[in-house]
Amino acid sequence: MSSPTDTPPREQPHMNPYWAGFGLGLVLLASFVIMGRGLGASGAFTTAVATTVHAVAPAHAEGNSFYAEYLGDGTASPLKDWLVFEVLGVFVGGFLSGALANRLKFTIEKGPRITNPRRLVLAAIGGALMGVGAKLALGCTSGQALTGGALLNVGSWAFMMCVFGGAYGLAWFLRRAWL
Amino acid sequence: MNAPFFKYGLFGDEMSLVVAFGIGIAFGFFLERAGFGNARKLAAQFYFRDLRVLKVMFTAIITAMVGSFLLARFGFLDLSLVYLTPTFLGPQIVGGLILGVGFIIGGYCPGTSCVSAATGRIDGMVYLAGMIGGLLGFAEVYPRIEHLVKLTPLGQVTLAEQFNLPYGLLVFAVVLMAFGAFVAAEWAEGRIGGKAPDADSLLTPARKFGPARKFAAVLIALGLVAAFSGSPYRTALAQVDTRQLALEAGTKADHVMPAELADWIIEGRNDYLLVDVREPAEFAAYHIPGAINVPLAELKQDFARRNERIVFYSDGGIHAAQAWFLIRALGFPSVYMLFGGLEEWHDTVLNPAAPPADAPAKDQVDFARRVAVAGYFGGSPRRAEGPALAAPAPAAALPKLAPPPPAAPPVTKPATPAKKKKKEGC
């Protein structure tokens, strides 16, 4: 994908995990102190999906209790939502960090033993499962595991154990995708 | 200083979106720094090659946990105002398993896939597209499985409450557990994954008190402080001083004026719970938008979250005052009542009286604003010069409003309580 003609700038190594975690923890703490809420990710996409469906088929969206919950009361655009703006920030922050470390690259992350098309099919399937799982669990790794973990939320801890359980349980069958 | 700032009204909804964007940038930045924009790095967790996911996640969790505990314990942060996602144990276990499976198949979770896509990873972009597909599919079947999603509700509950353990002790235990897991992870990376140790880690360098070890020592020490410093909640276990309560009841500090409440509703503030203590039939006939109905007889210890700001109202003021006293005595720290009850609400918000024609301009401007507010809530101002003359008796105003005029926007608002719960979750 990337065919640099000049000598490419060197990709910097990733941050020490403990310090990256510490930084992430401070961001989460700042969110508690400033907003009284934690971080999130999947909710923003749900709002975006609900808004799009509402724009295409208003009656259908309003008749569906799931969409309706994300559309609000119609007094303001549902996209004027905390999580939507936070996730926009995540894209920007990720891009900035990647740019500063010379890690911006059009590429596909995968193990050496899997073809690109297969990897992309798996990515799509994984994403779809994630969408379903996050809605069942009322949150994803950001909203549940990180935020709820730090608040000692009962459901979040149960959820977190199950995420690790599910991933470890299936890891052996997917080793060709990653190793 | 009182935190959370937003919930203490230091800034409004518009500003909160700016804050959201800023926090998001910092969040995305550290996710990318951690290497979470790379699916292979993330997946390495599950083959013991590189246990970054565990290290980063749990370091973040214990940092925020210890920080919020200590800030709350020493009076800076009201922890009870930090939103806690309600627990639905069964769905969250199943959802967690599905998410874990999705993680190892797709290589990302929602947050990390954003960072991955933002740094050009095509698999991250495809993953996001897949997630949108999954959300669409879930939404379409949701009406049929709604009852399953709401199974095994435990409410908004922490491990400390669930297992009746001191919060601080749990904080300490989680810190110890995390560092135990980190040491085990570093060992496993070397043994099973064959990974050379990081330059700065807990197991290496052998004898030096490096930064990572210092960090561990500080967090464990803070955790130890937490273990012995009692409850982080304000007044959670305070003795109720009835004399103090009685004195408080005599002041105006426990009142919310109707006009103030109207502004809160219009602004869409979500940091309070409006409770109608009248009977269900009366509630059904008319209630203030966004209110929930808990008749006086059903008020008890667990009717709401202890840390929630609660505003009671009834027809006049008496029942609300009784509710106020009862709930204050049960140890709820921030309880208010609507001054003058629904009667005052009708007189000042729904049907404000016009000032005399010779009133100063300031009053006229103020009245114009109140007319707009009344319009929002489906009321109309009283036109007569002498407000007392044409003012409909409150009792008469009630049935008039029962079937609200179709054009009135607030009719759509009873969804507000559900909406404000949703708005804070993931």
The domain that holds B297 is classified in CATH as: 3.40.250.10
Distance CA A139, CA B99 (A): 10
Instruction: Look up the domain containing B78 and give its range.
Output: 6-164
> Which of A77, A105, A133 corresponds to the end of one domain?
A105
> Which of A45, A74, A105 corresponds to the end of one domain?
A105
Please report residues of A whose CB lies closer than 8 A to that of B88. Answer: 138, 155
What are the residues facing B273 on neighbouring strands?
Answer: B310
* Domain assignment present for A7: no
The answer to whether residues A99 and A139 belong to one domain is no
The answer to whether residues A101 and A116 belong to one domain is no
Span B353-383, pLDDT tens digits: 888 877 788 888 888 888 888 888 888 777 6
The answer to whether residues A125 and A80 belong to one domain is no
pLDDT, position B185: 93
Span B41-96, pLDDT tens digits: 999 999 999 999 999 999 999 999 999 999 998 888 988 889 899 999 999 999 99
Q: How far is CA B122 from the centre of its chain?
A: 35
Give residues 56 to 75 of B whose Cβ lies within 8 Å of A.
56-65, 67-68, 71
Instruction: Look up the domain containing A136 and give its range.
Output: 110-179
Cα distance from A144 to chain B (closest Cα, Å)?
7
Longest Cα pair distance anywhere in chain B, in angstroms? 89
Q: Give DSSP secondary structure letters for B316-327.
A: SSHHHHHHHHHH
- Let me know: does B47 contact B193? Beta carbons within 8 Å: yes
Span B409-419, pLDDT tens digits: 433 333 334 33
Nearest chain A alpha carbon to B58? A21
Which two three-digit tokens encode residue A67?
């969409």
* Domain assignment present for A46: yes
The answer to whether residues A88 and A120 belong to one domain is no
**pLDDT tops 70 at residue B32:** yes
For the entire predicted model, the pTM comes to 0.74
The answer to whether residues A115 and A171 belong to one domain is yes
Contact A65 B142 (CB under 8 A): yes
Helical spans, DSSP H, in B268-333: 280-285, 318-329
ipTM of this complex > 0.90? yes
* Domain assignment present for A162: yes
Which two three-digit tokens encode residue B154?
């435990």
**pLDDT tops 80 at residue B171:** yes
Q: How many domains does chain B have?
A: 2
* Neighbouring residues of A157: CB distance < 8 A, sequence distance ≥ 6: A148, A149, B159
Nearest chain A alpha carbon to B152? A155
The answer to whether residues B159 and B254 belong to one domain is no
> Which of B123, B144, B164 corresponds to the end of one domain?
B164
Nearest chain A alpha carbon to B6? A35
The answer to whether residues A63 and A118 belong to one domain is no
* Domain assignment present for A25: yes
Please report residues of B whose CB lies closer than 8 A to that of A41. Answer: 109-111, 114, 426
Contact B137 A145 (CB under 8 A): no
Contact B65 A150 (CB under 8 A): yes
Please report residues of A whose CB lies closer than 8 A to that of B35. Answer: 14-15, 17, 20
Does B26 contact chain A (CB < 8 Å)?
A: yes
> Which of A86, A105, A124 corresponds to the end of one domain?
A105
Q: How many domains does chain A have?
A: 2
Nearest chain A alpha carbon to B412? A73
When CB atoms are compared, the residue of B20, B83, B167 closest to A86 is B20
User: Is residue B391 very low, low, confident or very high in pLDDT (cuts 50, 70, 90)?
Assistant: very low
Nearest chain B alpha carbon to A102? B119
* Domain assignment present for B78: yes
Phi, psi of A138 (to 5 degrees): 60, 30
* Domain assignment present for A100: yes
Mean pLDDT of chain A: 91
